[in-house]
Structure 1
Amino acid sequence: MIRPILTLTLALLMGACAAVPYAEPPVAEAPAEPPLPPDILARYRALQDGDEIIPAVPLENLSARNVRQEVDYWTDHPPGTIIVDPHDRFLYLVEPGNRALRYGVAVGEAGFQFTGEARIPYQRDWPRWTPTPNMIANRPDYAEYAGGVPGGIDNPLGARALYLHRDGRDTLYRIHGTPQPWTVGTAVSSGCIRLYNQDIIDLAARVRSGTRVVVLGPDERGLGTVPPEATRNTGVLD
């Protein structure tokens, strides 16, 4: 079971999380695995959200590992809790009966700097992104975005952003969408926790103000993915 997490390293020192704006995708390669079922592919088709049209996720950027799916998950945390496993690059929304809805995520540098518990007091649709002074100091090319990037299909925060607070303070840690679907399932150079835009819209619709979030540390990688009795004798996961 997930033990209490006692440490929290704020992303304040790193600056607010965001993907690299307008990064180019890698050269696409044909998928190496069997095609996904039509009902799974339908979750990632193009859709209209307000005034924005979200493109379908390209087939080469989808995999059975990263698509949204229900899985077995063993935890003491109550249904409705979000558990982020940045080192396994998954996000779990806990459901009753040792089940969870699992989302593949991309994890940026700031995403590895935060562990512990927080709450989501609010979320934003098509949020505006503004680099912090620290981000501009580290990346002078971000200076052109100092006035902020309006919400929209090319915004680094994607279609939704869930804002994490602790003790009434904004941690600057975000769970958000991305216009870069090829990054999902990978560790990337910047940002916090990114989901496909189709998935962050789905997750945001399930989240209420006050939702509790637990971010696992590196020694907790994979925690909850096997029954407790399977690890009782070893004490750790491989």
Structure 2
Amino acid sequence: MPLAKLLQPRLASLLTSPRTRKSLRQLQETKRRLGAQPHVVSVWLRADDPYSYLLVQILPRFVAHFDVVLQVHIINRHEEATTPAPVELAAYARRDAVLLARRQALDFPDQAAAPDITDTDLATRLLLAHAKQPPAIFLPLARQALAALWRGYHKKLSTLASRFLPMTAATAAVQLESNLQRLQALGHYQPAMLHYGGEWYWGIDRLPYLAERLQELGIARMAHDFVLNDAPLPGEKGLVPHQFLISEPADL
């Protein structure tokens, strides 16, 4: 057996060990302090992604709990090579979102179909235009826009767009490409992703792990822990096949 292949499992184990992770986190924190930088959490959202809509509903509580700067990036696609069977995957994501929404008492329509393409474009440009607003302004707007999109409320979405002007199509195309390239440069491709201190956290399912990390850094504004509901609801198994649920940390 080649030496490289023999060492590969040991190297993988070393890179993913708690000790290595702790050392890397300490290095990231040292760099942040030396640069006198705030605790920046970057989030990538996509209007027609179910997990992004769920995340938008949780983020107000998250940013109220921790002393962080939230940077929002909007995307509208990812590379085809990273998404086998996109139609089927999107359908599974919608069914999974129903389950997660019920568990966390969030909004997601039980029988949601793929959002209208024209409405998706409008919602995307609306989010793009206001992504740099403070979270107290952007997140409520994003929640209203995505609720209208996912529930097919065309008139409500149009009303929002008339009050809070969307980005023009030409400007949006440039910004979307820039955001996607930035996401890929950091080593990812999916929406509903949060990035902090060199690590990725996917959607509301991984948000408690980021919260735990921030809690350890002592930047919580509140005495209690940031927690989400982990308990399955009665009859939950019948909603979504287990293989389509967001996997456990050990499976990633």
Q: Under TM normalisation by the shorter chain, which class is it?
A: under 0.3
TM-score, normalised to structure 2, is: 0.24
TM-score, normalised to structure 1, is: 0.25
The higher radius of gyration belongs to 2
Kindly indicate which of the two structures has a greater share of residues assigned to helix.
2
